[in-house]
Amino acid sequence: MELEIFFESIWFMLPAYAATIVPFYARKINFLNYPINKKLFGQNKTYRGFFFGIAWAIFIAYLQVELYTKYFVVKALSIVLYDRINYFLFGFLLGFGALFGDLVKSFFKRRLNIKEGKSWFPFDSIDYVLGALLYISFLFVPSIEHIIGIIILSTMLHYAISNLWIKFSLR
């Protein structure tokens, strides 16, 4: 994989990555902390997680637009013409798509009696990616090289970050 595709893929997916990480850090905020449906998805999938995850995805998309318009190096890393997109819609689609993909995976984990928090390879690392790519396709479709890069890099990042969290007891 070319180094350029690596950086472009990460830059493109930043709102989706934020959407999946932020709910963990927002779990102590007493706002919308109601499970979406305990029986179908487990107790950890909450309206709060969706709210904060999507809000951060939109914020990251806003930052991407701002940086794109100010710095040439950011333009060089961008597969999207950020000065021509609606950052709110872009962030929403990537954020909602990522969280929706995770929700679908949780549904199947519950049906297969896989406990919450237990690893389910490879679905734990591609669920949010597939959801984000599906929803963003209403607005923009990355090249096949970028889609492959996003899937490979997201899988690698997921397991690297998960191992670091376990090692440093951050979970």
Kindly state the average pLDDT of the residues 90-103: 97
Residue 1 has a pLDDT of 57
Residue 138 has a pLDDT of 96
- Burial of residue 36, with CB atoms counted within 10 A of its CB: 0-12 exposed, 13-18 middle, 19 or more buried: middle
Q: How far apart are CA 92 and CA 26, in angstroms?
A: 18
pLDDT class of 56 with cuts at 50, 70, 90: very high
Would you tell me how many other CB atoms lie within 10 Å of the CB of residue 152? 16
Torsion-angle region of residue 81: left (phi > 0), alpha (psi -120 to 50) or beta?
Answer: beta
Q: How far apart are CA 85 and CA 61, in angstroms?
A: 10
Q: What is the mean pLDDT of the chain?
A: 91
Kindly state the average pLDDT of the residues 42-52: 92
Tens of pLDDT, residue by residue over 19-31, are 999 998 998 899 9
- Judge whether 65 and 83 are in contact, CB under 8 Å: yes
Q: How far apart are CA 17 and CA 90, in angstroms?
A: 13
Kindly state the average pLDDT of the residues 91-103: 97
Residue 67 has a pLDDT of 97
pLDDT class of 41 with cuts at 50, 70, 90: confident
pTM, to two decimals: 0.91
Strand partners, 35: 46
Tens of pLDDT, residue by residue over 105-132, are 999 998 998 887 787 878 888 999 999 9
Helical (H) or strand (E) element with 112: none
C-alpha pair distances (Å), 140 with each of 13, 49, 80, 162: 12, 25, 8, 29
